[in-house]
Amino acid sequence: MIPLGGLGEVGRNMTVFEFGGKLLIVDVGVLFPDTDQPGVDLILPDFSPIRDRLDDVLGIVLTHGHEDHIGAVPYLLRLRKDIPLLGSALTLALVEAKLKEHRIQPYTLTVKEGQKEDLGPFALEFVAVNHSIPDALAVSISTPAGRVLHTGDFKMDQLPLDGRLTDLRAFARLGEEGVDLFLCDSTNADVPGFTPLERSIGPVLEQVIAKAPRRVIVASFSSHVHRVQQVLDAAAAHGRKVALIGRSMVRNMGIAEQLGYLRVPTGVLIDAKKAADLPDDRIVYMSTGSQGEPMAVLARMANLEHQIEIGQGDTVILASSLIPGNENAVYRVINGLTKLGANVVHKGNAKVHVSGHAAAGELLYCYNILKPKNAMPVHGEIRHLVANAKLAQDSGIPETNTIVGENGIVVDLRDGVARVVGQLDLGYVYVDGSSVGEISDADLKDRRILSEEGFISIFAVVDTQTGRIVAGPHLHARGFAEDDAVFDDVIPKVRKALLEAAENGTHDIHALSQVVRRTVGRWVNTQHRRRPMIVPVVIEG
C-alpha cells in the first residue's frame, strides 16, 4: 500500500494498493494551492510510481464526490482513459460532468452500500458513511494478505438530513470478521467530543434569513447538497427566491436535483439573470467562494469585480469551515465585505456550519467497534495524523501497530502484520492553466521573488574587445520603485565594472552579464535592502 497524497495535508487524497502485480486505487483528489504557490490552479498527486504500470490498474474506487477525492481523476485518465471508475451514483455523476469538460468518456460501475465487487485479487465491500455530501462510502478491501478498511471522509451524525447513517452494524460485522489495517479519516482527530448535528444549522440559517433587511448571499462548497437544501427550505419559509451563482454550483446542484438528492420547493429556484428584477428583501444568492478563492464568486464580490455589488444592509453567510491554510484568504474576503457595509455571518460568530468529519469521540467508537490489528491514520495534516494515532493507541492498539507516515510511505500487509518497508520520494505536480507538471519549485520561487521584491532588467551593448559600452546601460524596473531615477547612482558603477572586466581579460558575453548582475545586486542590497529578480542582457556590439 502506498499513499500518493493525503498524508500531512488536507487534500490530494490517493492511495494505491497492490497484490499479485495488480493495482487498485482509492480516490484521486486535488490539493488547492497555498499563498506561497502563486499562479498555481491545482496540485495533483505524484503519479510517477504508477505511470509505467497503468495497465496493471484494475480500477479506481471513489469514496465520495469532493474535489480533494475526485478532482485529479481527469489528469490520471489522460494517461489511460479506460480505467474503470467505481463509486456511488452521485459521486460518479459529479466525476462524469468533470470528465466531460476534459472530453473523456469514462468506464463506470455504480455501487451502493452493502454491495460486493471483485476486481482481480481485490474483494471489495462498500459501507454507507455519513459526510457533508450525500452518498459517501467506506470500502473494505480483502486479499489473501488481509483486510483493509478505508473510511474515506466520514462522521457519525445520528440524525442526518437524508436519514443515511454511518453503518456501524457493518463496521461491527467487519470487526468480528477481522480488520487487519484501518485507514481512518483524521481531519477532526484533535477536536474533542462529537461533531454537532447537521440539522442544527437549519434553524440558524432560517433565523438569519428572516432578520435580513436586504439581499442574502450564502457561500458554501459547490458540492454541499445538504447546506443548499437548508438554504432552499429557509428561503421558501420566508418568501424568498434562490439564485445559484458560480458554474460549479449550478452544475452540481443540477446533478443533485436530477438524481433526487436535492428537493427544490416549487417556484423557489430562479435564474440568476432574473434575480436583479426582484426586491432586495426577496432574494437569496447561493454562491461559491467560502474559502476565499481569488477567482470564486464571493472574493470577486468583495473586490467589486462581480455584477452583484455588495452594499449596506446586505447579509453574507459563510456556511463552511475553514480548510487549513485558507484562513488569511477567508478573513481578507470577510474584511472586504464588511468594509462594503455587509453583515458577515460566519462560523466564528454564529452556528452556520458543522464539520463533515468525525471528532475524537466518534473515532474512538470506531476503534472500539472494529478492534483492528493495525491502524494508519489518513487524510490530515501531521497534527491530525498524530492525534488519530494517539486515539488508536488509547483504544488498545499497540504503538508498534500504529503507523504515522507521509506521502510515499510503502506499507506491507502480510498475515495480519503491517510494517513500513520503504519510502518513495514524491513531489508536487502543479496545474497552471493548461500546463500540467511543467511548473517547478524553482519557478514558484521566482514568482514569489517577483511578487515580493520586484524585477529589474539592465540592457547594454558592449564592445567585448575594449569593454567600451556602445549603448546603454538602460535600466527598467517593475514593482521596485515608482521612479527609475533611483537607479542613476548605479549606472556609472555598471559602466565601470564592465570596463574593468574587459581590461582583466573578460570578453565572454555570459561572464559580462554576470558582472552586471553582481554589480546591480550588490548596490540594491546595500542601498535598499531588497533582493529583486535581476535580468541582465549584454549584447556584443
Binding site residue list: 353-357
CA distance 279 to 214: 8
Please count the CA atoms within 13 angstroms of the CA of 117 that sit on its side-chain side: 19
Provide the pairing of β-strand 429-432 with 417-423.
unpaired
DSSP state letters, 436-450: ES---HHHHHHHHHH
The sign one gets for the Cα dihedral 152, 155, 160, 165 is positive
> Is the link from the previous residue into 398 a cis peptide, with omega within 30 of 0?
no
Nearest to 292 by CA among 314, 324, 315: 324
CA distance 481 to 456: 10
How close are the terminal C-alpha atoms of the chain, in Å?
A: 61
> Which residues are known binding-site members for substrate?
353-357
- Copy the grid coordinates of residue 361: 469521540
The sign one gets for the Cα dihedral 415, 416, 421, 426 is positive
Please count the CA atoms within 13 angstroms of the CA of 182 that sit on its side-chain side: 29
Nearest to 182 by CA among 36, 369, 38, 31: 369
CA distance 112 to 133: 15
CA distance 446 to 195: 42
DSSP 153: S
CA distance 447 to 452: 9
CA distance 372 to 429: 34
Q: Tell me, rounded to whole angstroms, the distance of Cα 157 from its chain centroid.
A: 24
Amino acid at 288: T
Q: Tell me, rounded to whole angstroms, the distance of Cα 414 from its chain centroid.
A: 33
Other Cβ atoms within 10 Å of 457 Cβ, number: 15
Residue 232, classed as helix, strand or coil, is: helix
Provide the pairing of β-strand 146-150 with 269-270.
unpaired
Residue 235, classed as helix, strand or coil, is: helix
CA distance 50 to 48: 5
Nearest to 219 by CA among 300, 272, 286, 283: 286
46, 429 Cβ separation under 8 angstroms: yes
